[in-house]
Amino acid sequence: MSHIKSLFVSAYMSALAGALIWSALTLWNAPTSLGHWGVLLSSGAPMGFFARLFLAPVARTSPRLDWIPLLGLIGSGIALASDGLGIPLAVAFVNGVLLSLAYIHWYSRFEAREGSALAVGEAMPDLTLLDLNGQALSTASLTRQTALWIFFRGNWCPLCMAQIREVADEYRQLQARGVEVYLISPQPQEHSRSLAERFQAPMRFLQDVDNRAAARLGILAEGGLPVGMQVLGYDSDVPMPTVFITAPGGRIVYSDLTDNYRIRPEPAEFTKALDAAGL
């Protein structure tokens, strides 16, 4: 299913871009073509949403995003009133309504994570991760003190970048409580090294080679990378965005297994979890 999703999101973005270019060129020569204004509205709404994520990243969005298919319906209505049952209506309805609803209610959601090994109260499984120098680190060495673990998909994911920025802003408070912060991704070490240089907080970036740890923890999304991103050096398989906290010794005291990649926990939740666990 994840492989289908990786094809879907790339095709969706291409369809939006193609429709916007087509309508813009048409309107350049015929500004009064209302049907193409409808296409611009229907395709421009989701494209504007994605542009917002990349230009001013946020760590979470509304789960439903009702405004996108609503504008898609309005754009489709404009196209219908102007051109009847023609190509502009088909493009406006498919891009603005059908594909948008598929993105919101299907693509954004994960399958159930019954196989996850991250239930609160369980011990952290035995894992091996690499630091930015290529040194292998075991679970035993990484759980000597309280730790906040964040599995993220890669530098290409704007919501992941926003989430990491939030944690960096809270790092001093976490450090004062003796909390180590681990940021784990399968991406090449040079990508994580460039990401580490963006932040003042000395958080520890770790590489999950071949997603072995994510698979062991039950948080692997096979084929989760959008088609085409492989040329930038990213692995086709990615971890589902996951956050958990371990007490010294490795016992899990907090776990967020979101069922929607657009929904991430607020940093305030970490403080509450630490307080509740007496850490």
What's the pLDDT score for residue 212?
Answer: 95
Taking residues 7-17, report their average pLDDT: 95
pLDDT tens, position by position, 173-223: 998 999 999 999 999 989 998 888 888 778 999 999 999 999 999 999 888
Position 3 pLDDT exceeds 90: no
Query: 67: which residues sit within 8 A by CB, 6+ positions away?
Result: 45
- Are 89 and 79 a contacting pair, CB within 8 Å? yes
Quote the CA–CA distance of 137 and 126 in Å, as a whole number.
11
Count Cα neighbours of 12 within 13 Å in the Cβ-side half-sphere.
26
DSSP 34: H
What's the pLDDT score for residue 196?
Answer: 87
Position 1 pLDDT exceeds 70: no
| Residue 114 pLDDT level (bands cut at 50, 70, 90) | low
What's the pLDDT score for residue 110?
Answer: 87
Taking residues 142-149, report their average pLDDT: 96
Position 115 pLDDT exceeds 70: no
pLDDT tens, position by position, 227-243: 988 888 898 899 999 99
What's the pLDDT score for residue 74?
Answer: 97
Instruction: Return the minimum-mean-pLDDT range out of 57-71, 106-120, 124-138, 258-272.
Output: 106-120
Q: Which amino acid is at 188?
A: P
φ, ψ for residue 249 (rounded to 5)? 105, -20
Q: Which amino acid is at 246?
A: T
Quote the CA–CA distance of 75 and 42 in Å, as a whole number.
5
Q: How far is Cα of residue 195 from the mean position of the Cα atoms in its chain?
A: 16
End-to-end CA distance of the chain: 39
- Are 6 and 227 a contacting pair, CB within 8 Å? yes
* pTM check: above 0.75: yes
Q: What length is written for the chain?
A: 279
Position 64 pLDDT exceeds 70: yes
Position 120 pLDDT exceeds 70: yes
- In order, the DSSP letters of 157-211 are -HHHHHHHHHHHHTHHHHHHTT-EEEEEESS-HHHHHHHHTT-SS-PEEEE-GGG
User: Residue 166 class from Cβ within 10 Å (0-12 exposed, 13-18 middle, 19+ buried)?
Assistant: middle
Burial 34-49 (b: 16+ CB within 10 A, else e): bbbbbbbbbbbbbbeb
pLDDT, the chain, mean: 92
| Residue ranges of domains in the chain, CATH in brackets | 2-107 (no CATH), 128-276 (3.40.30.10)
Position 167 pLDDT exceeds 90: yes
Instruction: Return the minimum-mean-pLDDT range out of 53-57, 87-91, 271-275.
Output: 53-57
Percent over 70 (pLDDT), the chain: 99
